[in-house]
Homo-oligomer: A and B are copies of this chain.
Amino acid sequence: MSDASVISPRRARGGGGAARRAERTAVSVETAKYIERNIPNYEVLTEEALQVIEANAETVLAEIGVNFVDNPAALDLWRAAGAEIDGERVRIPRGLARKLCATAPSEYVQHARNPDRNVVVGGKNLVLAPVYGPPFVRDAEGGRRYATMADFEKFVKLGYMSKWLHHSGGTVCEPTDIPVNKRHLDMLLAHMVLSDKPFMGSVTEPSRAQDSIEMCEILFGADFVRDNTVMTSLININSPLTFDSVMMGALEVFARHNQASIISPFIVGGAMAPVSVAGTLTQVLAEVMAGVAYSQLVRPGAPVVFGTFVASIDMNSGAPTFGTPEASQITYGAGQLARRMGLPYRSAGSFCGSKLPDAQAAYETAHSLNMGLLSGVNFMLHACGWLEGGLVASFEKFVMDADQLGTLHHFARGVDMSENGQAMDALAEVGPGGHFLGCEHTQSNFKAAFWRSDLFDYKPFETWDEEGARDTVALASARVKKLIDTYQQPPLDPEIEARLRAYVAEKKASMPDAFA
């Protein structure tokens, strides 16, 4: 199941003689397989606490209920399923939502156009995807500015070149120079052409979700899309307890086509949820249960992910704060709740509130990445590149975070307890006062043993000083340039690429420009 490379034959997609010729000349880009954890999860909640939260979430659904806004068809589905409908309010009898959720799969394969890059979302796996949504970009040279399609393409290229990133993501930044009603087409095209990693569909209108499906039918073939999941898309809940018709419309399109959706409360604690960990977890669980249950009313068995996006609020400024201990507790707790539902889990990321990719950004991000790994997250959106509370996608932070993702891979391997791992021969060979650097065991294990950054400075002080005393941002700037300079487009059947471009051109021509 987890050996993604055998799930689908390469020839099925992007094949043809031209593609094969392109492949022969392409530079090979190494991408690590998604993380298969060989470590335990960290569980902050006791069994008793979990039961209290689960009972409270049922109370919320039964007594307070949730709103499905501007969506009479959804209300009909709920009514038929046994919920109590009062205007747009849906009250779900105890046990019903959880029962409906049972048809959602515990894991699913998301296919990439390069089958070596398929990912399995669920189980003990962790799939890493880049930042999603920022209207601004920042780099050391140009500072902070509105994002453009050129920025978007640069991020997709960086994602493709990043060894520890398994997924190309979705709206890596908002290409604000393209009309709102057309930019999803350019974004999808970029993911499909510039990368061969899996990607996300558009959710900003149900029609754009439909366009996503149609473009995938060109890329993968219609039969393949009918039978397989080729997108994982982000459906945010309007917390508290509100499901708007735009997001639900997109969810409906994806679920009907058996495409995966992350159903995700979007919470700044103290604003969209109670200012307490247990209260927020109760709300998260109620919202996810309602959303997942609804997806299964649309199509039983549709793949969905238990999502949780959590920041906390700063009382002084009203700003969301990231990498806080309370956000960590919520992330750990939500992981436990997701596993008890048997659902894949999405949370964590390279979260920070800092305006710059400085120490604040890195502290906050490292907290989030660590708890993401240990909380059992299966799909980590925003795993690199996030800055300034998600308002900014940073080129330098993208490669800084992407490098850090290597630490998650190494830690997740667990401890090698083989005879070689125990290293008793080395201990005997070296003995008291000796040195291990030259011993047989060190020589034969060195390369695979310890993680090392491809970005950080490990040089002696004097060397580093002579070379310009560069900080992490300066090193990252250089790395961004190097990756972009050596980027080569992964091979794709020119006929498929032409059909994708024609689809985008035709769609764009059929609509007036809209900028809001």
Instruction: Report A's interface with B, CB cutoff 8 A.
Output: 39-40, 42-45, 48-49, 52-53, 56, 59-60, 63-67, 89, 144, 238, 240-242, 269-280, 282-283, 312-317, 319, 321, 323-326, 328-329, 333, 353-367, 370-371, 374, 388, 391, 397, 400, 404, 407-408, 410-411, 414-417, 420-424, 426-428, 430-437, 439, 441-442, 445-447, 449-453, 455-461, 464-465, 469, 471-473, 476
Residues of chain B lying within 8 A (CB to CB) of residue A364: 456
Please, could you name 18 A-B residue pairs with CB atoms under 8 Å apart, sorted by A? A40-B43, A49-B415, A56-B422, A60-B424, A65-B432, A67-B432, A240-B432, A276-B423, A278-B415, A278-B417, A319-B458, A323-B407, A355-B461, A357-B359, A358-B472, A359-B361, A359-B400, A359-B471
Residues of chain B lying within 8 A (CB to CB) of residue A275: 423, 426, 436, 441-442, 445-446, 449-450
Residues of chain B lying within 8 A (CB to CB) of residue A439: 274
Q: How far is the CA of A151 from the CA of B445 in the complex (A)?
A: 42
Q: How far is the CA of A401 from the CA of B484 in the complex (A)?
A: 34
Q: Which of B391, B420, B422, B435 contacts A52 (CB 8 A)?
A: B422
Q: Smallest CB–CB gap between A446 and chain B, Å?
A: 5
The 3 closest A-B pairs by CB, nearest first: A279-B423, A366-B366, A362-B362
Q: Which residue of B lies closest to A143 (CB)?
A: B469
Q: Which residue of B lies closest to A69 (CB)?
A: B433
Q: If the complex has contacts A240-B430, A354-B456, are A282 and B362 also in contact, measured as CB distance less than 8 A? A: no
Q: Is B276 a contact partner of A420 (Cβ separation < 8 A)?
A: yes
Q: Is B49 a contact partner of A417 (Cβ separation < 8 A)?
A: yes
Residues of chain B lying within 8 A (CB to CB) of residue A437: 270-271, 313
Q: Is B458 a contact partner of A314 (Cβ separation < 8 A)?
A: yes
Residues of chain B lying within 8 A (CB to CB) of residue A360: 362, 453, 455-457, 471-472
Q: Which residue of B lies closest to A324 (CB)?
A: B451
Residues of chain B lying within 8 A (CB to CB) of residue A446: 270, 275, 315
Q: Is A354 a contact partner of B472 (Cβ separation < 8 A)?
A: yes
Q: Is A42 a contact partner of B42 (Cβ separation < 8 A)?
A: yes
Q: Smallest CB–CB gap between A90 and chain B, Å?
A: 9
Q: How far is the CA of A411 from the CA of B277 in the complex (A)?
A: 11
Q: Is A60 a contact partner of B427 (Cβ separation < 8 A)?
A: yes
Q: How far is the CA of A276 from the CA of B442 in the complex (A)?
A: 8
Q: If the complex has contacts A241-B431, A328-B411, A450-B270, are A362 and B366 also in contact, measured as CB distance less than 8 A? A: yes
Q: How far is the CA of A471 from the CA of B140 in the complex (A)?
A: 13
In this complex, the member of A276, A420, A441 whose beta carbon has the largest number of chain B beta carbons within 10 angstroms is: A276
Other than the given A64-B431, A359-B400, 17 more pairs (CB < 8 A) read A44-B415, A45-B415, A52-B422, A56-B424, A65-B432, A241-B432, A276-B421, A276-B445, A278-B417, A282-B424, A314-B458, A317-B460, A325-B451, A355-B469, A356-B472, A359-B362, A365-B366
Residues of chain B lying within 8 A (CB to CB) of residue A354: 456-457, 472
Q: Which of B280, B317, B366, B430 contacts A458 (CB 8 A)?
A: B317
Q: If the complex has contacts A40-B43, A433-B67, A433-B242, are A458 and B274 also in contact, measured as CB distance less than 8 A? A: no
Q: Is B279 a contact partner of A452 (Cβ separation < 8 A)?
A: no
Q: Which residue of B lies closest to A417 (CB)?
A: B49
Q: Is B89 a contact partner of A432 (Cβ separation < 8 A)?
A: yes
Q: Is A282 a contact partner of B422 (Cβ separation < 8 A)?
A: yes
Q: Which residue of B lies closest to A404 (CB)?
A: B363
Residues of chain B lying within 8 A (CB to CB) of residue A432: 64-67, 89, 240-242
Q: If the complex has contacts A144-B461, A415-B49, A423-B282, are A441 and B324 also in contact, measured as CB distance less than 8 A? A: no
Residues of chain B lying within 8 A (CB to CB) of residue A449: 269-270, 275-276, 312, 326
Residues of chain B lying within 8 A (CB to CB) of residue A359: 357-359, 361-362, 397, 400, 471-473, 476
Q: Which residue of B lies closest to A241 (CB)?
A: B432
Q: Which of B241, B282, B362 contacts A433 (CB 8 A)?
A: B241
Q: How far is the CA of A233 from the CA of B446 in the complex (A)?
A: 34
Q: How far is the CA of A308 from the CA of B355 in the complex (A)?
A: 36
Q: Which residue of B lies closest to A49 (CB)?
A: B417
Q: Is A473 a contact partner of B358 (Cβ separation < 8 A)?
A: yes
Residues of chain B lying within 8 A (CB to CB) of residue A363: 362-363, 365-366, 400, 404
Q: Is B450 a contact partner of A312 (Cβ separation < 8 A)?
A: yes
Q: Which residue of B lies closest to A447 (CB)?
A: B315
Residues of chain B lying within 8 A (CB to CB) of residue A273: 436
Q: Smallest CB–CB gap between A196 and chain B, Å?
A: 28
Residues of chain B lying within 8 A (CB to CB) of residue A39: 44
Residues of chain B lying within 8 A (CB to CB) of residue A324: 407, 410, 450-452
Q: Is A366 a contact partner of B370 (Cβ separation < 8 A)?
A: yes
Q: Is B416 a contact partner of A276 (Cβ separation < 8 A)?
A: yes
